Amino acid sequence: MTVIVLTNCPAGLRGFLTRWLLEISPGVFIGSPSARIREVLWAEVQQYAGQGRALLAHTTNNEQGFTFRTHDHAWHPTDHEGLTLIRRPSVSPSSPSNDGKPGWSSAAKRRRVGKR
């Protein structure tokens, strides 16, 4: 079983993949091509993805039963004692989601005081 997920890729690449795989949702392709065809498809995806991102997952004979590859993706596969895990980029302190104030918000502190 092979799954390819495309994000922000050209429509022509999606059309190319529909020759070999079934598009079950926009940008999500699934099928059972041979290993040789899977490698050719992945090479085409890497070549023509442009500014987009791509993820390939397929079954294999290992502890997890599958493996995956990424192209221009912020999350990267990492081997950890024989298991493939995803390494997510760390959140920088200057990101807008972190205002630099640790602990409870003022509203939460008022609610906690009221419950005592």
Model pLDDT for residues 57-91, shown as the tens digit of each residue:
999 998 899 999 999 888 888 888 888 888 888 87
89: phi then psi, degrees, rounded to nearest 5: -65, 145
| pLDDT score, position 103 | 75
pTM of the full structure: 0.73
> Residues 29, 6: contact at Cβ < 8 Å?
yes
CA–CA dist 3, 89 (Å, integer): 23
Give the mean pLDDT of 38-44: 96
State the pLDDT confidence band at 110, using cuts at 50, 70 and 90: confident
